[in-house]
């Protein structure tokens, strides 16, 4: 998927996270998580284009998502302990959202990393959609799907607020 698609999907995930957490946790912590989802956090797994690793390789493993999130939490804890957990969760969630979005494409991703391989030791790609529904990289279909989902989330929020 392209950067614009990941940004749209990250925004939808941020809207969903803020709605799920509404009134249950500190609003500042929710905003930290949302900031990572809508900012470059959702694009960071594609840093592999500058690294000597395969694109959609180790940076798209679920294990890597957890390790990066935990690392960010440890670093932020040294600077602002109150937001360490929110920052770590925000980064991990951004990486997971990115990996799952790429898993809806024709090429898929090795979500289970080194744990799921074929007989020759190649990482098996995970594809989350049936073949006829998978997205092609560079097309606008996933952006439109993300925008429709965002509109539904906003509509549900307005309805929910109106009921309160």
41 vs 93, which has greater pLDDT?
93
Instruction: Please check the confidence at residue 164 and state whether its pLDDT lies above 60.
Output: no
Residue 86 has pLDDT above 90, yes or no: no
Predicted confidence at residue 145, as pLDDT, reads 76
Residues of the chain with pLDDT > 90: what percent? 12
Phi, psi of 139 (to 5 degrees): -90, 160
Average pLDDT of the segment spanning 140-160: 72
Query: Helix (H) and strand (E) counts for the chain?
Result: 5, 0
- pLDDT above 90 (res 67): yes
Q: Residue 160: what pLDDT?
A: 65
> Nearest-CA neighbor of 72 among 123, 102, 34, 64?
64
pLDDT at 93: 85
Residues 4-21 pLDDT 10s: 777 777 777 777 777 666
Distance CA 99, CA 84 (A): 23
**Mean pLDDT score, 119-138:** 84
Question: Where in the chain are the domains?
Answer: 3-163
- Averaged pLDDT score across all residues of the chain: 80
Least confident of 33-37, 56-60, 94-98: 33-37
In angstroms, rounded to a whole number, what is the distance separating the alpha carbons of residues 128 and 13?
17
Of 40-44, 61-65, 96-100, 131-135, the range with the lowest mean pLDDT is 40-44
CA gap 38, 79 in Å, rounded: 22
* CA nearest to 44, candidates 60, 33, 30: 60
User: Model confidence at 43, in pLDDT bands (50, 70, 90)?
Assistant: confident
């Amino acid at each position: 998927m392209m950067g614009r698609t990941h940004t749209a999907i990250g925004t939808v995930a941020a809207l969903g996270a803020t709605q799920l957490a509404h009134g249950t946790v500190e609003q500042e912590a929710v905003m930290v998580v949302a900031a990572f989802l809508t900012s470059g956090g959702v694009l960071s797994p594609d840093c592999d284009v500058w690294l000597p690793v395969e694109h959609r390789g180790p940076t798209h493993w679920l294990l890597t998502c957890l390790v990066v999130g935990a690392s960010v939490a440890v670093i932020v804890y040294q600077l602002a302990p109150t937001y360490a957990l929110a920052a770590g969760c925000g980064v991990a969630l951004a990486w997971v959202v990115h990996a799952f979005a790429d898993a809806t494409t024709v090429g898929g991703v090795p979500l289970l990393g080194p744990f799921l391989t074929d007989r020759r030791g190649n990482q098996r790609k995970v594809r989350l959609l049936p073949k006829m529904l998978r997205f092609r990289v560079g097309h606008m279909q996933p952006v439109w799907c993300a925008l429709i989902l965002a509109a539904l989330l906003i509509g549900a929020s307005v309805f929910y607020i109106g009921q309160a």
